[in-house]
Chains A and B, each alone.
Chain A
Amino acid sequence: MAVTDRVQPPPPDTNPRASRGKSVKRLAFSQKVSKWDVKLSPYLYISPFFLLFAITGLFPLLYTAWVSLHSWNLIGGQGDFTGLENYAFVLAQPFFWNAVGNTFSIFLLSSVPQVVLAIAIAAVLDANLRARTFWRMGVLVPFVVAPVAVGLIFNNLFADQAGLVNEILTGIGLDPVRWHSDSLASHAAIATMVNFRWTGYNALIFLAAMQAVPRDVYEAATIDGAGRLRQFFSVTVPMLRPTIIFVVITATIGGLQIFDEARVFDQAGLGGADRQWQTLTMYIWELGWGQRNFGRASAVAWLLFLIIVVIAMANFLITRRIATQGGRR
């Protein structure tokens, strides 16, 4: 409360009875204003975000919970209150668990290589390159391409019979991969699309963090006789820990909500005939817009929300541990 100290205490009064009413009133008002100022202004300054969040984030979240407790048709609207019936139904569906599995599989196949690659690319960009800005802008180009366009291009590459990837594989004497039939192959293909789009973006975040690493640390390492590779692993990567935590957590949230790339992987957009690559968000789409059952779709949406919260917390605990270990050294 250092700020309130600045408010002058009322001067000692010689004749309390005569002046109390007047002076107290005057002082109380200015005091009140400055008190409000001190107490409320900070909240006012940060309020736009929270108001916006309440309208666009919190309200839909709670409304979705409300919808998930009813039978609710997309066009017909609210039906009977059904309690947790939608949740029970969805949890009993093999399709739901299949979608959970696919989501995690695609998430891992995309996030892990993405973070590793992004750090490697950032390290290269951090070096003394000619036309540095050109290369740095270059890695962001895939990010600018619309996901649907990426989908169209990669679909063509990954077509089972006529695709370029399989042409090359058969060309060098390998068996063609059944990209749209084999579950794991389809996940790999979708993860490729995700990585194509997001690796460069993450690389730029890592690059920014790398540039913040004090150069004298490297100089000291050089004097100690550490080579480039040793410097990278012993100086750069530990210094990047907070950034890695940030990227991993945001990638988790995004990865568990993957939709666009998987949806455009074939024309029907339902995740394959055997639901080989149907993710949770696609399952929500199928329930809500395909079957028009908003109640069940909302139940899955809430389950997804809970999964993300759990995973993000686990993530946070693990990475914080790593981070504090790094800090102590």
Chain B
Amino acid sequence: MQNRARITALSAAAACLALTLAACGSGGEENAGVEGETGTEEVTLSVGTFNEFGYEELFTEYEELNPNVTIEHKKAATSNEARDNLTTRLAAGSGLSDIEGIEMDWLPELLEYSDQFADLSDPAVEGRWLDWKSAAATTEDGQLIGYGTDAGPQAVCYRADLFEKAGLPSDRESVADMLDGSWQDYFDAGKKFVAASDGTAWFDSAGATYQGMINQVENAYEEEDGTVIATENPEVKDIYEQVLQASVTDGLSAHLTQWEDDWTASFQSDAFATKLCPGWMLGIIEGNAEGIDGWDIADVFPGGAGNWGGSYLTIPTQGANQAEAKKLAEWLTAPEQQIKAFESKGNFPSQVDALESETLLGQTNAFFNDAPTGEILVNRANAIDIRPFKGPKYFPINDAMQQALTRVDVDETDDPASSWEKFVTAVGAL
């Protein structure tokens, strides 16, 4: 009985899906040749985003610059919600916004269906983005399906006060020197810290640390041709073992799962001393650790550099105003506008020119001991030279891996070997 309402909703949705599937044939053809026409005709453009893209004021500005354009903003609360919405409507063949925001995490799944998205490659935007940013949205035959918005270059956030207590150097230059190098150096520093501190762990979670490491492997789970190598790849197994060795055997992990209630609460209880942090994580740490002094950020990332997250604007081919939509998407992702979005919501830009902006470079963060966060993150973004290949099965595999780590690090239902076996089973079931 619990779900009687849902049965009705689901069956209604299923019926709609079936009906729209039948209707999608006609919709597709109608809009096939719209490209190229931009004019002064009245158009209404819908833009679908999620979380905070920081575009509210930019939309008003664009409407003033282009009096014929009205922008309708559809904002989903979370990235997952946006993903479900997008996939369902792609399947249905209608109902998408003229511009759809897509997160880097689920972009690889969509590259497979690149014919559903307009080709945005354009001489006007060549070289606008950091290489790895635009490369991730480009298909093998050179179609660019999305314009990059923000990026997530990672640094290391740490608790200077706890470092000091444990007798470790605590100013951000010496910390950067200490942690510079491989992951092993990072773990070694952690062992020193844990030995000298009173019950505080070195990092928050095995899963988060693994994420930082696996993002530095070019073909972690899949070959370029789609062959799944996740369970045989020695690099993956090696990282898995390293992380669990550090987390469980050496006791460096606070045994938390990211985003869970315990994780959120742990920021208030000195549970861990360091955290890998992409730009957007700063706000999350500040929110969770409200009232806790001592957070700082060092211009360093073990193993070089890495990116975590960031989004794109795409134009689904089912839209009726693709040409106008492309104009708007291009304008929104231009360096000047990205800086404004950054000022509005702190979204770190992925545009080459934007990284030289004084506004960005001059940014400091009071919560992180007045650290020059703008300059640090620009350095971290420029240091990225690896382009991890993420195929269509990347995310289910990565999910299975995160679960494998959680089983050992948090749940303690398995040891590393048996949990790996379960991971192999899970990958086999994909």
Contact = CB atoms under 8 A, between A and B. Distances in A.
A86 to B, nearest CB: 13
9 contacts: A60-B10, A64-B14, A159-B265, A162-B265, A180-B411, A251-B2, A267-B258, A276-B411, A291-B396
What's the dominant secondary structure at chain B's contact region?
helix
Interface in A253-281: 253-255, 257-261, 266-268, 270, 272-274, 276
B21 interface: yes
B260 A273 contact: no
B327 interface: no
B6 A259 contact: yes
Given A95-B426, A194-B2, A292-B87, 15 more contacts: A57-B11, A74-B88, A75-B90, A155-B261, A161-B262, A162-B265, A180-B411, A202-B1, A258-B2, A266-B260, A268-B259, A268-B402, A273-B402, A273-B403, A292-B109
Interface string B394-417: 001001001111110011111000
B407 A273 contact: yes
A250 interface: yes
A181 B411 contact: yes
- Name, among B84, B109, B414, B429, the residue most crowded by chain A CB atoms within 10 Å (CB to CB): B429
B227 interface: no
B406 A56 contact: no
A289 interface: yes
B15 A273 contact: no
B242 interface: no
B18 A59 contact: yes
B260 A56 contact: no
A267 B411 contact: no
Given A63-B14, A181-B412, A290-B396, A251 B1 contact: yes
Nearest to B83: A289
Given A258-B3, A267-B260, A63 B18 contact: yes
Contacts of B262: 159-163
Given A93-B429, A289-B87, A274 B422 contact: yes
A274 B411 contact: yes
A173 interface: no
A254 B2 contact: yes
Contacts of B265: 159, 161-162
A77 B21 contact: yes
B15 A254 contact: no
B2 A270 contact: no
Contacts of A197: 2
A163 B266 CA distance: 12
B261 A156 contact: yes
Given A60-B14, A292-B109, A77 B91 contact: yes
Contacts of A201: 1
A75 B87 contact: yes
Contact of A74 (B91, B429, B430): B91
Interface of A: 55-57, 59-60, 63-64, 74-77, 93-95, 155-156, 159-163, 178, 180-181, 194, 197-198, 201-202, 247, 250-251, 253-255, 257-261, 266-268, 270, 272-274, 276, 289-292
Nearest to A59: B15
A117 to B, nearest CB: 15
Contacts of A162: 261-262, 265-266
A186 to B, nearest CB: 10
A245 B88 CA distance: 38
Contacts of B258: 267
**Top 8 A-B residue pairs of the complex, sorted by shortest distance between their CB atoms:** A273-B406, A162-B265, A254-B2, A181-B411, A254-B1, A60-B14, A250-B1, A159-B261
A71 to B, nearest CB: 13
Nearest to B254: A161
- Name, among A56, A156, A198, A251, the residue most crowded by chain B CB atoms within 10 Å (CB to CB): A56
A198 B87 contact: no
Interface of B: 1-4, 6-8, 10-12, 14-15, 18, 21, 84, 87-88, 90-91, 109, 112-113, 116, 257-262, 265-266, 396, 399, 402-407, 410-414, 422, 425-426, 429-430
B15 A60 contact: yes
A114 B422 CA distance: 35
Contact of B403 (A181, A198, A267, A270): A270
A270 B403 CA distance: 9
Nearest to A261: B2
Contacts of A156: 261
Given A75-B87, A181-B410, A268 B1 contact: no
Nearest to B412: A181
Given A254-B1, A273-B403, A55 B411 contact: no
A266 B396 CA distance: 17
A201 B1 CA distance: 10
A155 B1 CA distance: 22
Contact of A75 (B15, B91, B406, B413): B91
A292 B10 CA distance: 17
Contacts of A272: 403, 411
A270 B87 contact: no
A291 B430 contact: yes
Given A75-B91, A194-B2, A274-B414, A257 B407 contact: no
A218 B237 CA distance: 72
B225 to A, nearest CB: 18
Given A95-B429, A258-B3, A273 B14 contact: no
A257 B84 contact: no
A19 B15 CA distance: 57
Nearest to B269: A162
Contacts of A159: 260-262, 265
B15 A55 contact: yes
A160 B399 CA distance: 21
Nearest to B408: A273
- Name, among B21, B84, B406, B426, the residue most crowded by chain A CB atoms within 10 Å (CB to CB): B406
B103 to A, nearest CB: 15
A266 B4 contact: no
A32 B406 CA distance: 74
Contact of A163 (B14, B116, B261, B404): B261
A273 B266 CA distance: 20
A299 B283 CA distance: 43
Nearest to A252: B1
A259 B90 CA distance: 25
A302 to B, nearest CB: 13
A76 B11 contact: no
